[in-house]
Amino acid sequence: MSRQQITKGWNSENGDISASLPSASVKRFAEEAPPGTLEKASNDIIAPTQLHASFSAEEVKPWDDQKYQQVRKLADASRNRGMVHLMQETQDEKLVAVKQMPNSWMQSSHEEFLRVHPKQTELPWQDIGCTRFLNNAGYKYASHLYGVFRNATDTFVVSSFARGGDLFGVAEAGPSAGPGRETAFAPLVIQICYALKVLHDLGIVHRDISLENVLSTGVPATNGQPAVQIIDFGMASTGRRFKDCTRGKASYEAPEMHNAGEYDAFLSDTFAVGVVVYAMLLCDYPWMSTKPGRCKCFEYVKQFGLRKYCAKRCVRGSTAKVDSVTPEPLMQLLEGLLSIDPAKRLTLGEKQWAEKRKSIWDTTWVKQNSGTMDYAKNAGA
């Protein structure tokens, strides 16, 4: 599984599903849904309509080269024209993640950014503001924002460092698909689902969930300590209903995003979580793109269903079929999360649902793997 080459096409001669097409480009961004589109959550803390407003550009401080020492580069931040560094504070030796972005990209404020970059889908000030709000709300599954700094050429966003790296690296380094991998990654999977459920209960949809946008803290998944952190809120919104607004990476986009009608961002986030779950437990992506006509893998699923697809597709690096390493409880979970029809998709157990719908916390697989974390109880399932 590589970050560039995700899946392969379907070879009808041997029944395997292998190759794919490059990702589709994203459409123009509408910054926030109109006021009133979010159903009020039943808890007391609700995100402000304008997420960027939780951080004022006036809070940006001068960058001090002497305060932080470079350790190594962590990753490119290509959509933000920059990169992420691991640095160490010189005074207390604390490790921090520092996203460095050109001032020509960031501009002086969110409003100035929108004026200069009106077609951009990645909004850096929105990411900063959302992270600040989540920190203030006591949301455990976000990195901690230490501050935003600037010199003559660049802006530096300093956050807590997650030692485990992103889930792409975690998944790539894990054991082969099968019972051992399922046991190893089940706690992470369940906590990812719970983290998104809590985010939605705060009134925020992420809209760019992916393996790269979930970090491992490097500690066990327990109720006391988070094992995952959700990052990159540049596409996040307090709107729940969208139309003609496709967001996220091509493999993770819910199919209803490509239809003409309105879609529910709670459910599109849930579909993206389903792709994360599939990739974590099966060490591969299910398809390259959900855009009509772009990926034979997804077209096969639409026509015949996920179960038949898994009976055709080989486990990565093996001649075994995916369904042979996917027990029935896990297959049912994947079918529920990756339902093509959003009306039949499992929910993450959000409080905001007006109608009663089946959630992941009702499934056998989650109940079997929750263990001492007891997320099902916390989710109100």
Question: Tell me: the pLDDT tens digits for 198-208?
Answer: 999 999 999 99
The per-residue pLDDT for 275 is: 97
Is residue 317 very low, low, confident or very high in pLDDT (cuts 50, 70, 90)?
confident
Mean pLDDT across the stretch 285-296?
95
Residue 19 confidence class, pLDDT cut points 50, 70, 90:
very low
Judge contact between 94 and 66, C-beta under 8 A.
no
Does 188 score more than 80 pLDDT?
yes
Please name the residues in contact with 26: beta carbons below 8 A apart, sequence gap of 6 or more: 121, 246, 247
Q: Does pLDDT of 89 surpass 90?
A: yes
Of residues 200, 220, 213, the one with CA closest to residue 139: 200
Question: pLDDT class for 299, splitting at 50, 70, 90?
Answer: very high
The pLDDT value given to residue 22:
27
The least confident of 54-63, 256-265, 369-378 is 369-378
pLDDT confidence tier of residue 35, bands split at 50, 70 and 90? very low
The mean pLDDT of 51-76, rounded to a whole number, is 94
Mean pLDDT of the chain: 85
Place of tokens 């905001």: 352
Residue 347 near residue 360, CB atoms below 8 Å:
yes
CA dihedral 77, 133, 126, 209 (to 10 degrees): 60
- According to the model, what pLDDT value does residue 105 have? 96
Spell out the domain ranges in the chain: 12-17+164-378, 55-160
Are β-strands 145-150 and 61-62 bridged in parallel, bridged antiparallel, or unpaired? parallel
User: 42 or 273, which is more confident?
Assistant: 273
What CATH superfamily classification does 12-17+164-378 receive? Transferase(Phosphotransferase) domain 1 (1.10.510.10)
User: Residue 29: is its pLDDT beyond 90?
Assistant: no
Q: What tokens does 77 get? A: 């931040």
Residue of 315 and 5 predicted with greater confidence: 315
pLDDT for 302 equals 96
Tokens of 323: 């369904």
Q: What share of the chain is helix, strand, coil (3-state, %, to 5)?
A: 35, 15, 45
CATH class of 55-160: alpha beta
371 conformational bin, left if phi > 0, alpha if psi -120 to 50, beta if neither: left
CA distances from 11 to 14, 17, 19, 314, 358 (A): 6, 6, 9, 11, 36
Predicted model pTM = 0.86
Return the higher-pLDDT residue of 374 and 84.
Answer: 84
Encode pLDDT of 246-261 as tens digits. 888 999 999 999 998 8
Q: What is the mean pLDDT of residues 219-229?
A: 76
Instruction: State residue 7's pLDDT score.
Output: 34
Average pLDDT over residues 153-158: 98
* Pairing of β 214-216 and β 165-166: antiparallel
Of the spans 44-48, 277-281, 350-354, which averages the highest pLDDT? 277-281
Residue predicted with more confidence, 289 or 47: 289
Q: Which two tokens stand for residue 21?
A: 């097409």
